[in-house]
């Protein structure tokens, strides 16, 4: 289904990134302003990009709206290589719905289950997705933090075991692996979160499948660059874009308060344009860190 829209799979983008030692950014969108903010940054820097819609986003906007926003993005910027990806799909039926409507890749997040159950759930999605050439991301280990419908306490979180990763990939047939190496969803408690680069190297030595870093908002530039150099091929950013969006709306509202004596600006385009532009700025910075600029 997705091929007629001109989308690439995340696997295609990741394999090229792996070979050339950079990472492709996956940025979340739920609406027009976010997808415009993302695609403008990618087009300006000639970077491939992964348009990520979470399970929660499909509930918010409706999957069909998200697909058509992505189709419009591709039509408007035909030179930009892009994938439309389901982020944190929680069950087979959500993955199937996205595949049937035109997503080029899906993530099935069964990381809360024991290994065998995780494998089983991923395999079910892989068998369906691969019939249509759609690529599948799985997750092993559990990231601390909150993202949409995923909520993991510190006690429940767990780092990815390299040997288990090898078994997981072989048995499930997934195309890329999201790993837990100290990264976490949402806001970090510290400015310099601990990233276990040794573990990343060990995982990289055990598997040839592209590796994905979730929860990368708030990880400083040098750590991101180092992770990409060692072998991360896809980096997910959501929180930093959301924060920039929120900050700009706050600024706008505060500088345009309701006042009985003055006309009020109530045009959503005026309110949301600075927020959209702030997303573009955040993403341009991330693309530079990931090294994906001029890779089209």
Residue nearest to Zn ion (CB): 214
Q: Is 142 in the site for Zn ion (CB under 5 A)?
A: no
Binding mask 201-240 for Zn ion (x = CB under 5 A): -------------x--------------------------
Binding-residue total with Zn ion (CB under 5 A): 1
Residue 167 CB, nearest approach to Zn ion (Å) = 22
**What are the residues whose beta carbons fall under 8 Å from the beta carbon of 140, sequence distance 6 or more?**
111, 115, 118, 160, 161, 164, 165, 168, 177, 178, 179, 180
State which H helix or E strand residue 126 sits in.
helix 115-131
Q: Say how far apart CA 241 and CA 218 lie, in whole Å.
A: 11
Q: C-alpha angle with apex 138: 26 to 279, nearest 5 degrees?
A: 15
By beta-carbon proximity to Zn ion, the closer residue of 33 and 147 is 147
Catalytic residue among 87, 161, 175, 238: 87
Residue 116 CB, nearest approach to Zn ion (Å) = 23
Active site residue 87: yes
Residue 39 CB, nearest approach to Zn ion (Å) = 21
By beta-carbon proximity to Zn ion, the closer residue of 33 and 87 is 87
Beta strand 105-108 with 24-28 is: unpaired
By beta-carbon proximity to Zn ion, the closer residue of 142 and 214 is 214
By beta-carbon proximity to Zn ion, the closer residue of 45 and 184 is 184
Minimal CA–CA distance to 47: which of 5, 11, 83?
83
113 — phi, psi (to 5°)?
A: -90, 160
136 — phi, psi (to 5°)?
A: -130, 135
Residue 213 CB, nearest approach to Zn ion (Å) = 9
Please list the active-site residues.
Answer: 87
Residues lying near Zn ion in the complex (CB under 5 A)? 214
């Amino acid at each position: 289904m997705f091929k007629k829209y001109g989308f690439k799979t995340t696997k295609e983008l990741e394999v090229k990134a792996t070979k050339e030692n950079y990472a492709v950014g996956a940025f979340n969108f739920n609406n027009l302003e976010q997808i415009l903010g993302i695609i403008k940054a990618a087009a300006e820097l000639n970077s491939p990009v992964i348009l990520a819609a979470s399970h929660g986003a499909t509930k918010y906007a409706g999957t069909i709206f998200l697909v058509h926003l992505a189709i419009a993005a591709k039509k408007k910027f035909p030179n930009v290589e892009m994938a439309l990806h389901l982020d944190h799909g929680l069950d087979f039926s959500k993955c199937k719905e996205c595949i049937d409507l035109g997503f080029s890749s899906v993530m099935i997040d069964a990381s809360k289950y024991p290994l065998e159950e995780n494998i089983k759930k991923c395999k079910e999605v892989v068998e369906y997705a691969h019939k249509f050439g759609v690529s599948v991301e799985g997750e092993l280990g559990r990231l601390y933090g909150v993202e949409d419908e995923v909520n993991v306490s510190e006690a429940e979180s767990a780092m990815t075991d390299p040997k288990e990763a090898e078994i997981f990939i072989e048995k499930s047939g997934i195309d890329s692996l999201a790993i837990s190496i100290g990264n976490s969803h949402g806001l970090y408690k510290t400015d310099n979160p601990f990233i276990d680069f040794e573990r990343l190297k060990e995982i990289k030595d055990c598997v040839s499948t592209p590796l994905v870093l979730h929860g990368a908002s708030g990880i400083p530039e040098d750590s991101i660059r180092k992770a990409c150099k060692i072998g991360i091929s896809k980096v997910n950013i959501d929180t930093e874009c959301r924060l920039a969006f929120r900050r700009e709306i706050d600024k706008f509202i505060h500088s345009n308060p309701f006042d009985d004596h003055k006309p009020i600006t109530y045009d959503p385009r005026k309110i949301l344009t600075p927020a959209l532009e702030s997303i573009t700025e955040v993403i341009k910075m991330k693309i530079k860190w990931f090294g994906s600029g001029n890779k089209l």
